[in-house]
Amino acid sequence: MEKNDFLEDDYLNNSRTNSLASDSLDRFQLDLTSPNEENIESQRISQSQSQLLEESLNTTQIKSPIRSNSNNNRSNSHPVNLQLRSLLQKRESELQNSLHRIAELERSRDSLSSEVQKLVSQVTLRNEEALNYRKLEKDFQDLNLRYNVILELVGEKDEEIENLKSDIQEMRSVYRS
């Protein structure tokens, strides 16, 4: 009688494990499509839960339920085990794909980050050059203005000199005549 009680207890433990596995099945139906930090953490937790679930399924298979009058219960738990294994394999595959995608995205992010740093340094350099260009352009305009003023003054002086030369020529011609 004690052996039968032990087998019944063992069967009840297996039934609890299967019901826990069913509950875990409901919890495993997560959306693993977007790789953000929450999903990464969820995936890591899911991976550890999937390992625990697989271990519990393995122990469920090792322990055999009560052999007499348990064929119905056994046939009911077996599809659940298969369904859980299938879901577990699917989730592990999705997890591996997601982790691979995350690694690719991290490499891409690092590459883009270094490119952004290069572009920022180029923009900073271009801004400094633009500032220098504006300063040089202002200096050029000031010099051009000074040049035009000087040119005007030189033109006036040349005109004065020409007038004086023509006056001198007139005086010489008047004086010689």
Categorize the per-residue pLDDT at 78 as very low, low, confident or very high, splitting at 50, 70 and 90: confident
**Please, which residues have CB within 8 angstroms of residue 40's CB and are 6 or more apart in sequence?**
102
The C-alpha angle 97, 109, 43, rounded to 5 degrees, equals 35
Q: pLDDT at position 111, please?
A: 95
Q: pLDDT at position 125, please?
A: 96
Q: pLDDT at position 102, please?
A: 95
Structure tokens at 170: 């007139």
Q: pLDDT at position 66, please?
A: 44
Taking 80 as the threshold, does the pLDDT of residue 143 lie above it?
Answer: yes
Structure tokens at 112: 């883009």
Taking 80 as the threshold, does the pLDDT of residue 39 lie above it?
Answer: no
Is residue 53 classed exposed, middle or buried when 0-12, 13-18 and 19+ CB atoms within 10 A define those classes? buried
Cβ distance 85 to 57 under 8 Å? yes
Q: pLDDT at position 80, please?
A: 83
Work out the average pLDDT over 39-60.
64
Greater model confidence, 33 or 170: 170
Taking 90 as the threshold, does the pLDDT of residue 98 lie above it?
Answer: yes
Structure tokens at 9: 């207890």
